[in-house]
Amino acid sequence: MFDLPDLKAIEAGLFEKNGKPYLINKSSKGEKGQYFSARYVIDMCVKMLNPREDESMIDIAAGSSGFPVHCIFKVWRDIFRDVKLPESHLFTLEKKPQRCYDYVGEKVFAIDFDEKAVHVTRCLNLIAGDGQTNVLQPFHYIEIGDLAADGAATSHVVPGEEAPSRATWIVQPGDVITSTVRPNRCLTGLIEPQQAENICSSGFAVLTPKGIPGELLFAYLRLPVICELMDLHTTASMYPAISTTDLMRLPFLLPDDATIKKVKHQITAARAARREAHTLLEKAKQAVEVAIEKNEAAGMKLLETK
C-alpha cells in the first residue's frame, strides 16, 4: 500500500516508488511502439496551450493520461483561485468545487488502443475527479457486412464512444461465427489469430469447437442443406433469425478421420492463399503509389522485393 502524495511521476505512464517501476513497465511501452512523454515535457506543453475551463481537450494517444490529468490540474488551480479557496494537493479524493467535476466530466476526453493503459488511465482519472467514463478505447468490430460470401471475416476500427449496441461478443482465434439472421445466406467465418479479442455483432452466434477442428465446423455450417435447416427454424418475418438454442440442436454427423484431415487441409490452404493474395494486392497498391510519386522503375523494384 502507498499514499498518493508519495508517488513520483518520473514519466507519464512509468510510475516509481523507491526506484521500482510498476503499473506500466517496459514490455507495455516501447515494445508496442509506445513512448510516454516525460513529466516536464507535459508541464511545458500544458503551460503553452493554457487550457481554460470553457475549452474541451482530447488526447487521442493518451497512454496513462499524463496530458489530460495535467490539463485537469491546471484548470482546477484556476477554479480554486477563482472561488478563493486554498490550493491543496489536487491528486486526492477530497471534496472539490462542483465546477471541477463538471470540467472533468464534460470537457476532458482520452483515447488509447492499449487495454492496460486504458485501465490505468481510468484509475488515475477516477482518483483525480471521476473522469474515467470519458476514457475510451477503440476496438476492432466484426459485423454482418464484414463477412464475405467465401467466409473471409474482416473487421474495422470503431471508436469507443461510437460502439453500437450490437457489439456484444468477444472472439478468439479458432472460433467459428455464423450469422443467425437470414441464415440461408450461409454467412459463416473462422476467426484468424490476428483477430484475437475482436468484438462481433450480436447477429452472430460464436461457437468454440470442442474435439473437432474449427475448419470442419466452418465447412459444416456453410453446407447448403445445413443453411436450409437453419432457415426452417427462423422466427419473425422482417429479420428472420434462428436462436442459438435451435442452432445447437442441429444434427452433426462426424466424418471419418481421413475426411476430417482432408477438409482441414483444403480450408487451411485456401485461407493461406487468400492471405497471400491480400498481401500481394497491398504490395501492388504501394508499388503504384511509389511509381506515381517517384518513377516506374522504383515501383517495379518494390514489387520484386520479397
Per-residue pLDDT of the chain (306 residues; tens, 9 = 90+): 333 333 333 333 334 344 344 444 444 444 455 556 777 788 898 999 999 999 988 887 777 678 888 888 899 889 989 998 887 666 555 678 888 888 887 888 877 766 666 666 666 666 555 444 455 567 889 999 999 888 889 998 887 767 787 888 889 999 999 999 999 999 999 999 989 889 899 899 999 999 899 999 999 999 999 999 999 999 887 889 999 899 999 988 899 999 999 999 999 999 889 888 888 888 899 889 988 988 888 888 888 887
Distances (CA, A) of 140 to 33, 69, 160, 283, 285: 19, 27, 10, 23, 23
What is the reported pLDDT for 253? 86
Last residue of a domain, one of 136, 158, 179: 136
For residue 167, what is the enclosing H or E element? Answer: strand 167-170
What is the reported pLDDT for 123? 64
What is the reported pLDDT for 191? 93
What is the reported pLDDT for 304? 82
Last residue of a domain, one of 136, 154, 180: 136
pTM above 0.85, yes or no: no
Pairing of strands 188-190, 199-201: unpaired
Parent domain of 68: 4-136
Residue 92 backbone zone (phi > 0: left; psi -120 to 50: alpha; other: beta): beta
Amino acid at residue number 92: T
- Do 277 and 235 lie in one domain? The reply is no
Q: Which of 82, 87, 86, 122 is nearest to 99 (CA)?
A: 82
CB 157 within 8 A of CB 146: no
Q: What distance in Å separates the CA atoms of residue 231 and residue 153, rounded to the nearest whole number?
A: 22
Amino acid at residue number 186: C
Q: What distance in Å separates the CA atoms of residue 15 and residue 8, rounded to the nearest whole number?
A: 7
What is the reported pLDDT for 122? 64
Q: What distance in Å separates the CA atoms of residue 253 and residue 255, rounded to the nearest whole number?
A: 6
Residue 259 belongs to some domain of the structure: no
- Do 213 and 298 lie in one domain? The reply is no
- Total domain count, the chain: 3
Q: What distance in Å separates the CA atoms of residue 53 and residue 34, rounded to the nearest whole number?
A: 30
What is the reported pLDDT for 26? 47
Q: Which residues partner with 235 through β-bridges?
A: 241
- Do 148 and 216 lie in one domain? The reply is yes
- Do 268 and 233 lie in one domain? The reply is no
**What CATH number does residue 215 fall under?**
3.90.220.20
CB 201 within 8 A of CB 181: no
CB 34 within 8 A of CB 23: no
- Do 33 and 96 lie in one domain? The reply is yes
3-class SS at 306? Answer: coil
